[in-house]
A = this chain, B = another copy of it.
Amino acid sequence: MAKVVGFGEVMMRLNPEGFRRFVQADRFEASYAGSEANALMTCALCGLDAMMITKLPENEIGQAALNEMRRYGLNTSGILRGGPRLGIYFAETGASQRDSKVIYDRAGSSIALARRGEFDWKAIFDGAAWFHFSGITPALGGDLPAITMDAVKTAKEMGLTVSCDINYRKKLWTPEEAGSTLGELMPYVDVCSFNESEASQVFGVRAEEGCAPERHYESIARRLQERFGFRRVAITLSKNITATDNDIGGVLYENGQTYYSPMARVHIVDRVGAGDCFGGALIVAELAGYDPQRTVNFAAATAVLKCSIEHDYALLSMAEIEALANGAGSNGPQR
């Protein structure tokens, strides 16, 4: 059971029931998630030892966050406790022409205020094969950029594969700040995933002008690969027909070759976390020795299925993902 380590923020997610708008809500569903925890959950559910590193307050709210990760199978033994609070995000589910909406209330969280000396990366990475983080982690500011740099350097020294999901958040930093800080981290990254808009906003990378439409994503991937030396580049594709219907798929670029998953028309239950579990599925597929085409199909199938599940986690077995990735259509109720 290979060990995968993730590092980042875990927040309380509060969403109104059903399609209620924030101002209509007098009840919120509470769950606990974050970009890296979401990615790692897919690792855990596919049989890896998925260890989440974060810092949670020493109160019942922090405990509830830890408990929810533990409940579904994350390894929580390395989580730090202390600091003032758990970050919160409020999520309103859109429908049809009304987009979903997220309000962040994450400033001053225990993880954002964590200090460099608190994380013993050598011990954390002991026996691990992979380290995963998202661009949100250094975006939290304070010591986090330095802590993340410590982590990736130690990971590389100890022979781990390093993956990063860019996940640009404009409310946390400017494109310039992101480009600068992430630019320093990227040389340590083996597998990088992002969407087209992030490539352009954060790294200023667009498809070459005049590039043939069918080579559009290849062009972006190659340019980023060349700049940072990634071994693998993955691009998540999603087209919002409406808030209810999306087309979702993925692209994988490796060794100069480009692999495309099918695009699926998805009827959205909850879109949050689809990109995150795409990243987690890349880890699962690589550690399982899948070839690139099977890898991108597997990752896209995970993202597609995630959209049918409430809350952030892609609560799916490997068999369920494989069934879709292998092209099985719907077979009606599974009795």
**Contacts from A to B (Cβ < 8 Å):** 14, 17-31, 59-61, 63-64, 67-68, 70-73, 84-86, 88, 90-92, 94-105, 107-108, 169-171, 238, 240-246, 264, 266-269, 271-272, 301, 304-305, 307-311, 315, 320, 324, 329-335
Contact = CB atoms under 8 A, between A and B. Distances in A.
B71 A21 contact: no
A61 B26 CA distance: 11
20 contacts: A14-B14, A14-B28, A23-B72, A25-B30, A26-B26, A26-B29, A26-B30, A60-B92, A67-B71, A70-B70, A70-B73, A91-B333, A94-B330, A97-B301, A98-B305, A98-B308, A99-B330, A108-B108, A242-B330, A245-B267
Given A105-B85, A108-B107, A267-B242, A332 B100 contact: yes
3 smallest beta-carbon distances between A and B, as pairs: A71-B71, A22-B60, A240-B330
Contacts of A70: 70-71, 73
Copies in the assembly, this chain:
6
Max count, chain B CB within 10 A of own CB: residue among A85, A171, A268, A311:
A85
Given A102-B335, A333-B102, A269 B14 contact: no
A245 B333 CA distance: 13
A17 B310 CA distance: 11
Given A68-B71, A240-B329, A330-B240, A309 B98 contact: yes
Contacts of A30: 14, 25-28
Given A22-B64, A60-B92, 14 more contacts: A17-B27, A22-B60, A22-B61, A27-B30, A28-B30, A59-B103, A67-B73, A70-B70, A88-B105, A97-B264, A97-B301, A102-B333, A171-B335, A238-B332
Given A28-B14, A67-B72, A101 B334 contact: yes
Contacts of A14: 14, 28, 30
B60 A307 contact: no
Contacts of A104: 335
Contact of A309 (B19, B102, B242, B311): B19
B84 A61 contact: no
Contacts of A60: 21-23, 90, 92, 101, 103
Contacts of A244: 267
A101 B331 CA distance: 11
A97 B26 contact: no
B267 A94 contact: no
Contacts of A105: 61, 85-86, 88
A311 B24 contact: yes
B71 A269 contact: no
